[in-house]
Amino acid sequence: MEADLLVREGSDNSLIKKIISKKEFSDLPQKDVLLAFKKFDSKSFADGEKLKLTRDLLRKSYTAFLSPKLLHFKDKDAEWFLKKHISTRERLPYYSEVYRKILFGLPKELNVYDLGCGTNGFSYDYFREIGFDVNYFGVEAVGQVVNLQKKFFDGKNLRKVSFFHESLFDLGWIMNLIKTGSGSKVVFLFKVLDSLEMIKRDYSKEFLESIVPLVDRVTISFATKSFLKRRKFFADRTWINNFVRDKFKILWDFEIGGERYITFSKKDL
């Protein structure tokens, strides 16, 4: 089945196999790898360049801030795992405040769909800390990270937490997941849209237009400081800001700990 899909997509099978032979890319959804590869699959690039450029793009989009220590499960507490991923490590001092702000006014029992969750599932106890009873659905493309969180929560026998190794480019699957839940629904897209845009331009707009009508609210976030040097940089994201303000109802827009959060819902009829 894998070979058939590669042929249908017109991709070089041997190059794809070389790309995913590297451990950090070995468990990414095929759809994501193919989309990245297709950006460089032209006569303008030699095979070696296609290999390098595709891996560079996949690294920037999926694994750049993932510690190798996370690729092997260890018997540690949730905070240890949150500290081993740069994105969640930077958010760690602010989780309670962030969740309190973006969930304000919602019922205490709700469904959270954390799309492109990375290791954010380890923050589950912060929902409880602020008084929410959450059914958590984490969707992530990096299979090793999904397995890591599954093992952690299986050991705790916590049935309200589920993880899925799926591509966010499989929009139909994402929509079906959201539709199957009942009650209040919230979507998180923390530091995800930039990565989607690197792989497929303007996909974020299609994605948001499809999922916002299905839920009570969506929160997107962007880094406003460089990960390593912690320097402030211009992060207005005019392209997505204008789109969100035109299409949806902005509930709040704030910055905490080098991360900007925008929470919105469908417009009132």
Q: What is the CATH number of the domain that holds 93?
A: 3.40.50.150
What is the enclosing helix (H) or strand (E) of 207?
helix 203-211
Position 159 confidence tier, pLDDT thresholds 50, 70, 90: confident
Residues 178 and 198 in one domain: yes
Residues 58 and 169 in one domain: no
Average pLDDT (130-151) is 95
Residues 127 and 11 in one domain: no
Residues 34 and 159 in one domain: no
**pTM summary value:** 0.91
Residues 45 and 101 in one domain: no
C-alpha–C-alpha distance, residues 42 and 57, integer Å = 16
The number of domains in the chain is: 2
The boundaries of the domain holding residue 185 are: 68-266
Residues 101 and 140 in one domain: yes
Residues 129 and 249 in one domain: yes
Residues 224 and 237 in one domain: yes
User: Residue 193: its pLDDT value, please?
Assistant: 95
17 has a pLDDT exceeding 60: yes
C-alpha–C-alpha distance, residues 178 and 120, integer Å = 18
Mean pLDDT of all residues belonging to the chain? 89
Residues 109 and 76 in one domain: yes
Residues 147 and 252 in one domain: yes
Position 6 confidence tier, pLDDT thresholds 50, 70, 90: very low
Alpha helix (H) residue ranges in 47-106? 47-58, 78-83, 86-91, 95-102
Candidates 224, 227, 269; CA nearest to 249 is 269
